[in-house]
Amino acid sequence: MAKAVVPEEKRRRRRPTKSGTVLSEALIVETALRLLREHGSTGLTARRLGLALDCDPSTLYRYFRGMDELTLAIGDALIGEALRGWRPTGQWRTDLRAIGLRIHAAYVAHPQAAQLTASRVTGRANELAADEAVLEVLRTAGFALPDTVRIYHAFIDQTLAFAALDAASLALPRATRRADDAMWRSTYARLPAATHPRIAEAAPLLSTHMVTSAYPTALDMLLDSAHATLTRLSS
């Protein structure tokens, strides 16, 4: 049976660890993000986390029921990072674009954590705040409820899907990433027009575009579609 999680104010250590650390949920998440960055998902274990925090690994279970709950907290922390400083302008398209780019940027800034959490639903405070913000922007703009939910679904899934895809690329060894990027110049750019006419004519542009994220373009296309829906509603 899972252990009951002790409320934050009751589980804080009354005295620091040997290294002077006072544990908190935020500190555990911050340390977990560092371990993910340094060692990848396989390096995030209760034992390694305990060593990094100078505490017995069992102490962590006073804060989280298990490593999966910690994973959800990490994902929620990334969303919180994205929302920090964001304020609505009242321009629905500007606001949605800003939220999307912020969430994408927060995930790709922590590629190992993004791979671990982008497909999860945390149900935690920051995720709920982000969902509420997106729905509020759409409803205030005048979208009907069914269209709001449809656009919200596409917006969130597209943002997280690109975050996962781009994070997976960034998590590759640097040499592998460079080799993948170079393929557009070493192979695609050298294909003859006689056998691959469309690739040959597009090669100069492909070598530029394909080594960057397509998320901003895809986001603008989704927002164009949403704008067309809103225009039909108001006509």
pLDDT (tens digit per residue) in 161-180 = 999 999 999 999 999 999 99
For residue 26, pLDDT over 90 is answered with yes
| pLDDT score at 8 | 53
Band of pLDDT at residue 2, cut at 50, 70 and 90: very low
DSSP track, 96-165 = HHHHHHHHHHHHHTSHHHHHHHTT----SHHHHHHHHHHHHHHHHHT--HHHHHHHHHHHHHHHHHHHHH
Domain extents in the chain: 8-65, 88-234
pLDDT (tens digit per residue) in 78-112 = 999 999 999 999 999 999 999 999 999 999 999 99
| pLDDT score at 230 | 94
Fold classification of 8-65 is Arc Repressor Mutant, subunit A (1.10.10)
Dist. CA 34–CA 50, nearest whole Å = 13
Give me the chain's average pLDDT, please.
Answer: 91
For residue 122, pLDDT over 80 is answered with yes
The CATH number fitting domain 88-234, selected from 1.10.150.450, 1.10.357.10, 2.20.25.240, 3.20.20.70: 1.10.357.10
Dist. CA 104–CA 215, nearest whole Å = 8
